Amino acid sequence: MRKEARVCLRVAPSWSAQERSGEPYSRVPCTRLLESVLSGESLKDGQGSRKLTCGIRFLSMDDFDLENKTIFVRVDINIPLDPSTLQILDDTRIRAIGPTLADLRSSKVVIGSHQSRPGRIDFTSLEPHARRLQRYCSQKVKYSDDVFGPHARQAIKQVQSGEILVLDNLRFCAEENMDCTPEMAAKTHMVKRLAPLFDLFVNDAFGTAHRSQPSLIGFAEVLPTVAGRLMERELSALNRVLVKTERPSVFVLGGAKVEDKLPVIEHVFKNGKADKVLLGGIPAKTFLMAKGLKLGQKNEQEMKGLEEYVEKAKNVLRDFPDQVEVPSDLAILKNEKRQEIMTEELPTGEIIMDIGRKTTDRFLEEIGKAKTVVASGPLGIFEKSGFDYGTRNVLEAISDCDGYTVIGGGHLTGLASMMGIEEKVSHLSTAGGAMLSLLAGERLPVVDALERAAERYRSGRMPQQQNAA
């Protein structure tokens, strides 16, 4: 059984259907007033009846009558494709939007997403995605090989209640490949052509919540806008990690990028949200170098260009010396076999491929004691036979942990699914960059857009739409 994490708050009636019906307050899932560390402002509702510090405010699908409405749902079903056949390798993100679509069974649903980006092999149409989506929802799924041209607009007008239309890859449109301000996004051809056809915009694309492309933030400027079920679930999970933190709190950070992990480490330590950070992958190499260790020519060549992060890691080690756990032993590839060395034996002439067994045991002990665990990025090159030891054992420990557990990032969540442990994890995030941005305390453009739309709706300041062409 998946561990349930339904956080509830007492919500002021101005945020729910109760205000319109005149009914008293009720307890609802925490979908409209969500405490977070995104802002330090003191907020209160328009009635002056509710004050929360650092509150994300947005509307949910429960706030609107959805029956027979034409609804644009922005999702993130950018998924791994086989580079030679372009067949779908992992449909986790398609399955993840199921709860949102299930609650739109009586609506006329139009789905928009992107797949990859221009210049890449997997920059393809969404026709395979539409076919795969049909497996997981009860509605009839149709596909349009257009985005906002006459063909697409006519297809949208013909969608019936209980049907889903999947538009083609939104990034086939040049303007969808640029980041822009909300005002610019609202004036793009895509938004101006499509928005008049819809009654409501549902943003369920948490995986790209750190982006500011027109389809992500533009529609929220001109349409009533709500968070989808996946967006709610992702924000609620990270809210529990960053605000309602149960201690001890342990972060496990690995992968090939240190530039997106170091801001997380700095933020959770400075804000008292982590008791321990356990490191593998490139982050571990960065901190080993920050401790003054020589890794060897091959490994240091891999670290070229990351000197500024080594300096930042030194500052973290100075300020939080007892909270950062770096490997005490490592696994290298020698004579095509796994061989383990202690860090005292560095430098090595071989590539470091994994954390060692002693380090793994130490990490498992910390995870076993934790009440909150967040993991992002593999601890080694787990695709290479024999070097998945650290990552697999840490994932098993996380699945056995009695605390609240979150796993994010494509590689780690994919491996968790392959191991069959996803149901034993409290929350398996569909996001990589967006999750890390939120954990680093950064503002997310999509969340900001949800908040602005909610405030406009409550104050009655919705802009007037032009008729569709």
Q: What is the pLDDT of residue 410?
A: 84
| pLDDT one-digit tens code per residue, 47-90 | 322 222 245 689 999 999 999 999 999 999 999 999 999 999 98
163-166, Cβ contacts within 8 angstroms, sequence gap of 24 or more: 163/108, 163/109, 163/139, 164/101, 164/109, 164/110, 164/111, 164/133, 164/137, 164/139, 164/140, 165/109, 165/110, 165/111, 165/141, 166/111, 166/113, 166/126, 166/129, 166/130, 166/133, 166/141, 166/142
Measured in whole angstroms, the distance separating CA 147 from the mean position of its chain's CA atoms is: 25
Single-letter code of the amino acid located at 350: E
Q: Over pLDDT 70: what percentage of the chain?
A: 86
CATH architecture of 247-402: 3-Layer(aba) Sandwich (3.40)
| pLDDT one-digit tens code per residue, 113-164 | 999 999 999 999 999 999 999 999 999 999 999 999 999 999 999 999 999 9
Which pTM was predicted?
Answer: 0.84
| pLDDT one-digit tens code per residue, 2-16 | 343 333 222 222 222
Residue 408, beta-bridge partner list: 376
CA distance 425 to 5: 11
For the domain spanning 63-234+444-459, the CATH number is: 3.40.50.1260
> How confident is the model over 364-380, as a mean pLDDT?
98
Taking each helix axis as running N to C, give the angle between helix 445-459 and helix 229-242, from 0 to 180 degrees, rounded to the nearest 10.
Answer: 110
**Which H or E run contains 200?**
strand 200-203
Cβ atoms of 338 and 372 within 8 Å: the answer is no
Measured in whole angstroms, the distance separating CA 248 from the mean position of its chain's CA atoms is: 23
Cβ atoms of 227 and 31 within 8 Å: the answer is yes
Single-letter code of the amino acid located at 352: I
How would you class 404 by CB atoms within 10 Å of its CB: exposed for 0-12, middle for 13-18, buried for 19 or more?
buried
- Please determine, for residue 281, whether its predicted confidence score (pLDDT) is greater than 90: yes
Boundaries of CATH 3.40.50.1260 in the chain? 63-234+444-459, 247-402
Classify 331 as helix, strand or coil.
strand
